Structures are given as C-alpha cells and as structure tokens.
C-alpha cells in the first residue's frame, strides 16, 4: 500500500483509520505527535515524561473512539479536545491531592545546555534563555487554567480564534477576552518573576 | 532582557498578538520573544516508532469492530441520518452489555418457568423473577452507556456533527429499545410455557418500572458522572422494591412496604412521568455542559473576567 501523501487531509486520514489503514495512522502520528507533545508539555508544567504519557493516551483514546468520528468534522479540533481533557484530568487529580503541577526547573535549565551546537562561550546566553524559559513556565502555572488554555492554544499551537471557540464551546469574543486578560496577567506575573 | 529592536523576530506570534490584543509592534515583539523562550521538546523518530508500535494492537481491535458492522442492515442505516446516528452510537455502546442482558433475562425466564407452582396459589406477576429482572437489567445497561472518563461530552460534540444531547438520546434509545425487545421476547416465551400467565399482565408489571429505572440510571450516569453511583443507587432502590414484594422479615425494624408497589398498574402513569422528567433533566444537564465540563475554569473566574 502506498503511504498517504502530505496532500491528504487529516479528515481523509481519519476515515482511512476507520477502515483500518495502518499507514494513515502512522501519518497522523507523524503530524500530531510533536505538536501534542509541545502542547501537553506546557500544559502540565514542563514535565516531559508525563506529557509523553498523555500524548500516547490521546492517540489511544482517539483510536478507541475512531468510529465516533464523522467526516468532515475537523480532526485537529478533536485531537486537541482529547488532549485538553487529559490535561484537565491531570490538573483535577493534582487539585484533589492538593498538589499542583510544578515546573521541573533542573530539567528545564539542563535542556537549554543540551542544545545542538552548544559552545561554552554561549553559556551566559544559554543560562539567560533557560532562566527566561523557567520564568515563563512558572508564570504559566500560576495563570487560571481557562486563561492558560487559550494562550497555549493560540500562541503555541497556532489555532485560530474560531477553532479555539469551537474546542472550548465558548464564543470567539470570550476567547479574545480570555486572551487579553491572560496576557495581562502573564505580563504581571513575569514582572514579579523579574526574568533576566 | 534584550531591547526589543535587537530581539529575534517571531513573526507569526507577533502578528497574532497584534491582531488579538491590538498590541503595539514593540510590545508584541517583546511578548513574542518571551513566549518563545519556553521551548517544548519535539518527538524523535524513536519516540514515533514506539508510539506507532503501541497503537498497532489497538488498531487491530478497531478494524475487527468495523468489519463486524458491515451488514445489509448497516448499509440501509447509512442512508438514513437517524439510522446513521444510531449506528455510530451502537459502536460506542459496550458490546458486553447486550450479551449480559440476554444471559440474565434468559436465566430469569427459565427460573420463572421452573419455579412456577404446578398447583395452589399462583404468584402475582410483580414478584416473578422475570418481572423483577427486566427493569434492573435495562437500568444497568443504561448506566454503562456513558462513562465521562473515557468518553467526555465535549469530545463527542467535537467528533460528531450531531448535538451532544441527541447523541446521548440515541444511545438511550438503543439500549432501552434493545431491553424492551428482550423483555417482550422473554414475556412471550414465559407465557408460551405457562398458559396461566397473561402476556399483558407480565408486560404491564415490568414496563413502567423499566422506564422509570432506566430514566433514573440515565440521569445519575450523566448528572453525577459514571456508571458506579448510578448502578449502586438503582440496585439499592430496586432491591428494596424486590424485598418489599417478597415476604422477607424486615431487618432491624426496617419497613420495606414504605416504598410504593412500583409494579402495580396504578403506579404506571407516575413512573412514566418520572421517567420522562429524569430523561429531560439529564438532557438539559448535558446541554448546559460548559461550566460543568470545565468547573475549574468557573471556580477561578474573577470579577476581572
């Protein structure tokens, strides 16, 4: 069987997965694994192993209910809805235990030193970048979750306002107000963090 | 931090910030630069290969389910949208539920026939095993038709073009319809074996309780969340009702007859009315879902929102 080309839409690939075409599933994994990893990594406070588990769970849940998918509903929105629910479940469990997701500061700073082409003379810049990343991620964990979600979806995952509205079942106007208030709050939190 | 004029450009983010917030060029550049600092990992080829391997087993099951569904009936249903809705939801309803229902109702019918006294006083229809089992079998089936952890409402809505209350109603219709047919078949079978039994009296004894208990299970599964509590409460209620009908001495002074006789024809209209109210309440609850699907959002809203 020929592998599905890049021109095939996600929705057509989802239909192919419904028919049991493994190559279509592989293509969807190729398209969505990294974006979902990025989304979930940020949503759970820079915890990579947890984000990887949630990415796997997102794909498993998609596959288990693939027969529920009806063409031509946007597939991307469905995948993000699943990922978002898993991230929310994670927060709900964390709240239940009265522990909140915290940023893995060591890992985050370490990762900035593992960039390809790292040179010792870049050390200061790398440390500065790592500390800035840490400040941003810490500020995100202190945002209300409804504001954090829209900012992540809009500025990191590059979803349109309409897509976010559909995904969260809220009007576009509410998406905009959450973005505006969220960004204001983020800036205030970053000012408190006093990033380098 | 670097001055905005020497910061690297993050054109797409900057443009979004300007478009969404009306931010100035300078502040959008500064903000985009800050956001870009928080980089996320990318999946490696090894990560992708590992995930694909994990998904392969699951894919096999999905294909088997699809091929089992390919029947002439399925083809006819595809051409009619309510049929298509029922067909898609039939795939979601757990396969073990109808089999378990058939097994329990079959055994209930056998016990009803086997325990029928050859002479003497005949039992009232309300205490026959078949009549006691039919409502609770239907209620348990309905309690398991929606599990919020595996099948959240928002995902149903995003995946299907049909309004989510309609999707839930379709599932309810499938399970209730199946159990209704099963109850009728069991009653006909029992009446065929036992000429003293009237099909009408049998069906009247379980039909309204079945509707009520199904409505209750549906409401509890959706409003309280999940099959556990729904199943437990329905079993307690129906167990109490069954004990009321049987001549069991009440433990610790409990008075079983406090509960009205749900199998009596007089209770029928009330039970139907309650069933309609409970299903309506469940659908209404599901319709106004946003605040409940993201309760943490609502809790953290402040006057600034």
Q: How far is B159 from chain A (nearest CA, A)?
A: 5
Could you list the mean pLDDT of each consecutive 10-residue stretch along chain B, which spans 305 residues?
56 88 85 88 91 84 51 60 70 76 90 79 78 89 76 67 77 90 92 84 89 92 80 86 66 59 80 92 74 40 34
Task: Answer whether A41 sits within 8 Å of B13, measured CB to CB.
Answer: no
Which 140-159 residues of chain A touch chain B by CB within 8 A?
A: 140, 144-146, 154-156, 158
Mean pLDDT of chain A: 82
pLDDT of residue A134: 86
Q: Would you say residue A138 has pLDDT above 80?
A: yes
**Whole-angstrom distance, CA of residue B242 vs CA of residue A58:** 44
Query: Which of A66, A82, A140 comes nearest B62 by C-beta?
Result: A66
Q: Give φ, ψ of A130 to 5 degrees.
A: -65, -40
The structure's pTM equals: 0.63
pLDDT of residue B299: 35
The percent of residues above 90 in pLDDT, for chain A, comes to 39
Residue B28's CB is within 10 A of a number of other CB atoms, namely: 22
Which 78-137 residues of chain B touch chain A by CB within 8 A?
A: 88-89, 91-92
A37 has a chain B CB within 8 A of its CB: yes
pLDDT of residue B12: 86
A77 in Cβ contact with A167 (< 8 Å): yes
pLDDT of residue B62: 56
Top-ranked range on mean pLDDT: pick from A103-112, A157-166, B110-119, B259-268? A157-166
A32 has a chain B CB within 8 A of its CB: no
A188 has a chain B CB within 8 A of its CB: no
Angstrom CA distances, A46 to A112, A123, B123, stand at 13, 22, 67
A39 in Cβ contact with A83 (< 8 Å): yes
Q: Would you say residue A165 has pLDDT above 50?
A: yes
A182 falls in which pLDDT band (50, 70, 90)?
very high
**Whole-angstrom distance, CA of residue B225 vs CA of residue A94:** 19
The three-state DSSP-derived secondary structure of chain B is CCCHHHCCCCHHHHHHHHHHHCCCHHHHHHHHHHHHHCCCCCCCHHHHHHHHHHHHHHHHHHHHHHHHCCCHHHHHHHCCHHHHHHHHHHHHCCCHHHHHHHHHHHHHHHHHHHCCCCCCCCCCHHHCHHHHHHHHHHHHHHHCCCCCCCCCHHHHHHHCCCCHHHHHHHHHHHHHHHHHHHHHHHHHHHHHHCCCCCHHHHHHHHHHHHHHHHHHHHHHHHHHHCHHHHHHHHHHHHHHHHHHHCCCCCHHHCCHHHCCCCCCHHHHHHHHHHHHHHHHHHHHHHHCCHHHHCHHHHHHCCCCC
Task: Answer whether A61 sits within 8 Å of B150, measured CB to CB.
Answer: yes
A160 has a chain B CB within 8 A of its CB: no
Q: A interface mutation test: which of B37, B68, B295, B303 has the most A CBs within 10 A? A: B37
pLDDT of residue A34: 95
Core vs surface per residue B178-187: b (16+ CB within 10 A) or e: bbbebbbebb
**Whole-angstrom distance, CA of residue B281 vs CA of residue A46:** 41
pLDDT of residue B9: 60
pLDDT digits (tens, 9 = 90+) for A17-74: 988 889 999 999 999 999 999 999 999 888 899 999 999 999 998 998 887 787 888 8
pLDDT digits (tens, 9 = 90+) for B134-183: 889 998 888 887 776 666 666 766 666 667 778 788 888 888 999 999 99
pLDDT of residue B141: 87
Does ipTM come in above 0.90?
A: no
Structure tokens at B24: 């100035």
pLDDT of residue A113: 58
**Whole-angstrom distance, CA of residue B74 vs CA of residue B40:** 45
Task: Answer whether B31 sits within 8 Å of A183, measured CB to CB.
Answer: yes
In sequence order, what are the residues at sequence separation of 6 or more whose Cβ sits closer than 8 angstroms to the Cβ of residue B289?
Answer: A169, B153, B154, B164
pLDDT of residue A1: 47
Residues of A in contact with B46 (CB under 8 A): none
């Amino acid at each position: 069987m020929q592998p599905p080309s890049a021109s095939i839409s996600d929705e057509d690939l989802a239909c192919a997965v419904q028919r049991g075409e493994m190559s279509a599933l592989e293509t969807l994994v190729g398209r969505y694994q990294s974006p979902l990893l990025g989304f979930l990594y940020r949503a759970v406070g820079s915890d990579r192993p947890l984000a990887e588990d949630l990415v796997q769970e997102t794909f498993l849940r998609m596959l288990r209910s693939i027969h529920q998918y009806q063409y031509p509903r946007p597939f991307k929105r469905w995948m993000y809805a699943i990922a978002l629910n898993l991230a929310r479940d994670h927060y709900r469990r964390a709240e239940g235990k009265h522990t909140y997701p915290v940023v893995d500061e060591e890992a985050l700073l370490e990762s900035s030193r593992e960039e390809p082409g790292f040179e010792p003379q870049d050390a200061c810049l790398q440390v500065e970048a790592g500390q800035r990343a840490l400040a941003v991620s810490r500020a995100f964990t202190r945002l209300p979750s409804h504001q954090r979600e829209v900012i992540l979806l809009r500025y990191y995952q590059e979803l349109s306002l309409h897509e976010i509205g559909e995904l969260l079942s809220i009007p576009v106007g509410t998406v905009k107000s959450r973005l505006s208030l969220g960004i204001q709050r983020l800036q205030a939190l970053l000012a408190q963090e006093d990033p380098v | 931090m670097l001055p905005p004029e020497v910061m690297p450009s993050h054109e797409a983010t900057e443009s979004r910030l300007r478009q969404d917030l009306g931010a100035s060029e300078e502040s959008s550049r500064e903000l985009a630069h800050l956001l870009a600092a928080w980089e996320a990992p990318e999946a490696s080829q090894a990560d992708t290969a590992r995930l694909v391997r994990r998904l392969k087993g699951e894919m096999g099951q999905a294909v088997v389910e699809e091929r089992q569904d390919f029947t002439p009936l399925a083809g006819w249903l595809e051409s009619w949208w309510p049929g298509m809705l029922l067909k898609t939801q039939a795939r979601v309803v757990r396969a073990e539920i109808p089999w378990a229902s058939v097994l329990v109702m079959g055994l209930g019918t056998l016990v009803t026939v086997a325990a029928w006294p050859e002479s003497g006083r005949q039992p009232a229809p309300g205490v026959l095993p078949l009549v006691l089992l039919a409502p609770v079998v239907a209620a348990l089936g309905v309690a398991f038709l929606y599990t919020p952890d595996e099948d959240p409402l928002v995902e149903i809505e995003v995946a299907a073009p049909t309004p989510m209350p309609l999707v839930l109603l379709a599932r309810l219709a499938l399970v209730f319809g199946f159990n209704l047919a099963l109850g009728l078949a069991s009653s006909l079978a029992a009446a065929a074996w036992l000429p003293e039994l009237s099909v009408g009296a049998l069906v009247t004894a379980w039909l309204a309780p079945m509707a009520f208990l199904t409505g209750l299970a549906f409401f509890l599964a959706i409003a309280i969340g999940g099959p556990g509590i729904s199943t437990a409460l329905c079993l307690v209620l129906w167990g109490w009702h069954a004990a009321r009908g049987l001549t069991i001495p009440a433990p610790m002074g409990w008075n079983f007859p406090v509960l009205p006789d749900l199998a009596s024809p007089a209770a029928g209209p009330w039970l139907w009315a309650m069933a309609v109210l409970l299903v309506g309440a469940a659908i209404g609850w599901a319709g106004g879902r946003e605040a409940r699907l993201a309760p943490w959002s609502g809790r953290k809203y402040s006057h600034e929102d």
